[in-house]
A and B are shown apart, each in its own frame.
Chain A
Amino acid sequence: MKNVIEVKNLTKEYKELKAVDNLSFAVQEGEILGLLGPNGSGKSTTINCILSLLNFSEGSIKIFGKEMKPDAYDIKKDIGVVFQDVAVFEELSVYDNIDYFCGLYIKDKRVRKKYVEEAIQLVGLEEFKNFFPKKLSGGLLRRLNIACGIAHKPKLIFLDEPTVAVDPQSRNNILDGIKMLRDRGATIIYTTHYMEEVEILCDRVIILDKGKIIASGTNAEVKALASIEEKVSVEAIDLDKKYIDEIKKFKNVDEVIYNNNILFIRYKKGKNNLDTLLDYLKEEHIKYNKIYSERPTLNDVFLELTGKELRD
């Protein structure tokens, strides 16, 4: 597959702060690349540099094989952007907002009308197309924000935290819409600090911290970077300390915490950890209500690599 975006040695400095530090990566046609990182890690700055909105100190950026510049209209016509901040006109209806932004790309009125209707359908705003933004809930507003950015059917889409502060229904709707865009063949750069979304949507992940790539690859590849294999939580009331001490001695156990009647065990790589634990609980007649087993998440990887949570 050919590269849609090629970023080489990108560096962006704000006075003494390096917001993006010698960043290099490529995005392949048709993939959804998740750009992960906590606030201030350089995600939005990287996107703004790629879009030629921001000056950068060093590096080169190519989109569709051509150098990206502010007046590269032949490249821009195939790009759609959904910024983190909702960018719509309060004075225009849902339909007019989408029509206005779509009209900056599509001149033919008939084609535009069709595209606008399709975008409204994609984000599920059919019932609200004559509403003004003030009358929309936060979630619906986010959907409108997305429709404005993708109505012209771009080949390359940047989605910068499109699900921030939305209700679960709108979030699911947005995620479904993004999957549909991918199915239509669009290449997507998706920035977020919500792990679950990345795991559902993205083919590949780049984790950023302090403007640098600290991990990249497919979800499985990145998760493999974690030293832990499994996390088990057991709800057991008034568990005696001797049992906790015994469990700590089990093979592959990395860490045991007992708090609020929940026993939390982290295992390093290894097999049959849960079976061993269940056998022990049975042998010692320890009563428990619930037991959960989880695989490491991208957040665990991030925690291990940086010592902080992604949402910090």
Chain B
Amino acid sequence: MSVRVVTALSLLGLGFAACRGGAERIDPAPTGSSSSVSSTSSGGEGGSLPIVRTIDVRSPWGGPAENLLVDGDFELSITVEGYGDANAWYAFTKSGTATRYLRAETGGLCRTGLRCGVLEPNTVLFGRGAAPPKGLGLVATVWARPPVGKGCEVVLPSLLDCDAATTSAKLKPVAKEPDASGWCSYTATVTKVGSKRCLYVDSKLASGESALVDSATMLATDAGGDASLVLPEPVDPDAAAVAQRVRGLLPFGRPRHDLMPSTP
């Protein structure tokens, strides 16, 4: 989804996610540490200066175009706190009793696009989507960047029937530990999709921790009979409660929060 403009050495080994918890932000690079860049250089004779950052051009609208999740890239779902309505992502407390604000991270801190979602403790994300065209299955994938020191199992994504929430399919982490860039991917393939599917992202984050979530896709597939297919599982009661809450919030009317005129 991005076009590299300045191709430089990767930032491998920079130890990106120094999460400071609470209201603070995920730090993109070790603060004030010259060692953070000393392992990376622009080459040449000793003494060459280190690469500070790379620059990309990324689509502000995310993608891919065929994504069955409405906004898997989180580009179209970040609102002014308290003013969201009918967005493609909802954030809730775990039992779905209250909505939470979905915060965003930016730029290269995200895996793709210009924005990604911040998953916080005791919060779940509910990403809305559609089923593939009739007769097709789907491959669901989502990426998460856990806090430093935590494995991929700390984030728990699953696929839900958006309406009935009677079955789910857990997305399994591809690896136990994050890759060199700090990200984990999770995936599941399902067939016989009879109605729209939503992505439910829970976590085992502890107080003060947070994870980034990005690049979520549900893509149609005609794969069938694959041994890796995930069988439906009983849905988590919390997930069912959240799905029920989303249904109750569906707006059938004029938006309550309309755009306001700008002031000088």
A and B are interacting partners = no
Interface residues of A (CB under 8 A from B): none
